A = this chain, B = another copy of it.
Amino acid sequence: MAEDTLIEEDRYELDKETVDAIVEAAEAGDAGGLSQLMDPLHAADIADVLEQVDLDERQSILKLFEPEFDGEILSEIDDSIRDQVIEMLSPEVLGEAVRELESDDVVDIVEDLDAPQQEAVLEALEDSDRAVVEQALSYPEFSAGRLMQREIVAGPEHWTVGEAIDYMRARDDLPEDFYHMILVDPRYRPTGYVTLGKILGHKRDVKLAGITEDSFRTIEAMEDEAEVAYAFNQYHLISAPVVDENGRLVGVITIDDAMVVLDEEHEEDILRLAGVGEESSLADKVIATTKRRFPWLAVNLATAVLASLVIAIYEDAIAQIVALAVLMPIVASMGGNAGTQSLTVAVRAIATKDLTGANVWRVIRREALVGLVNGVLFAVVMGVVGVIWFGSVMLGVVIAVAMVINLVVAGLAGTVIPVTLERLRIDPALASGAFVTTVTDVVGFFAFLGLAAAVLI
């Protein structure tokens, strides 16, 4: 089978025709047609439709589709327009939608809302559900306690397969998603777990304690959700019991929730590295987007001005040899790119805990050496270009030397800066980029113009 026969694209993408037809039906007030178009869609896809249309269209769709509105749509929709959508729903529809959801999904919705909307949602819940949600909200944001579901399937360590099956059959409130029966000691501390597959695969008289999983690990309720996601990914967990400070079982986190967190962490890293800030969404308005990007551009302006001050020192040299002005951005640009390469590898390795105290010096040495080798290669290329273009051997030598210096510095800065920020408990994805390009710009201009001023004039 040839590789190019892979089914690659657009399989799960909403096509423009569907979205257009939905908008058309909504604006024509054709409730039947709208239902017919929306019915085959998963709640996650309906949420995507609502995100992709504009404000007026969103309103028309919701007005007509309201009677069929499902709680899951609310849980799938992007934070940036969720409050707007909640505003558009009638209190009855909102109440109905929220009551359908599991407690951890309600928590996920409620935590991002303003106080009045939060109250509206909480009031729509039944008393017992509200108590569960409020208890979850008592844990800090981004903690395992917020992430976990409180529906637990647990039994004493001495149970047999048969007792476990009888217990589960007798319970009428089994959670939607659960993959293990957790074993607890008399003080309700988890001591192991058994997969449902093992329970189904063994005879009724087999002891649960004899068929537990090696992968068993507990999560503390106060643990950062990013650490939880890392543990799931690193140790291939499917679910993990969550314990309080006394080691007692208080909830369960399942892999699907960990996957969502992992996805968000990645998104945060990739956006922060590009200087976009968090939670940027295509559904955001122009003003919101401008506001979020402005501070990063302001930082960049400050560093660009700093680099310009370096150039200003060598105004006289540039006035005498204009070729310097032509060539200087090349040295800075190459340094910036090489620095970004090192930086991204380092930030990613820090996130996956592959760059630690144990190998940091080896990595720094490697990055400096990579900078040196690439620096020498590009120095030769640029030296030749410089000689041919401007007919000056010394100019070629100057740009070559400046290139080597800047690429070695780029490798060093690209590793040392994120590692240092991490030690200072600052997210390296957040701030490293500005620091690294400042260093490569300043060093690039200094090395090239300084050498030129010393040698050529």
Contacts and interface: CB of A to CB of B under 8 A. Distances in A.
Interface stretch (A31-39, A123-131, A297-305): A297-305
Interface stretch (A86-94, A111-119, A184-192, A274-282): A274-282
A200 interface: yes
A297 B140 contact: no
Nearest to A300: B337
B16 A357 contact: yes
A272 B274 CA distance: 13
Contacts of A13: 353, 356
A73 interface: no
B223 A289 contact: no
A311 B390 CA distance: 14
B276 A274 contact: no
A100 B450 CA distance: 63
A409 to B, nearest CB: 15
Nearest to A200: B168
Contacts of A7: 220, 222-224, 227
Contact of A199 (B138, B171, B200, B312): B200
Interface residues of A, number: 146
Contact of A297 (B201, B259, B337): B337
Given A270-B344, A273-B270, A374 B297 contact: yes
A369 interface: yes
Contacts of A308: 326-327, 329-330
A276 B202 CA distance: 50
A414 to B, nearest CB: 10
Contacts of A233: 259-260, 263
A15 to B, nearest CB: 7
B174 A374 contact: no
A285 to B, nearest CB: 8
Most buried by B among A9, A270, A282: A282
Given A259-B255, A274-B340, A363-B282, A12 B197 contact: no
Contacts of A69: none
Contact of A200 (B2, B196, B285, B378): B196
A269 B307 CA distance: 30
A159 B200 CA distance: 15
B304 A334 contact: yes
A69 to B, nearest CB: 17
A63 to B, nearest CB: 20
7 contacts: A44-B234, A48-B353, A52-B359, A233-B263, A275-B341, A308-B329, A311-B325
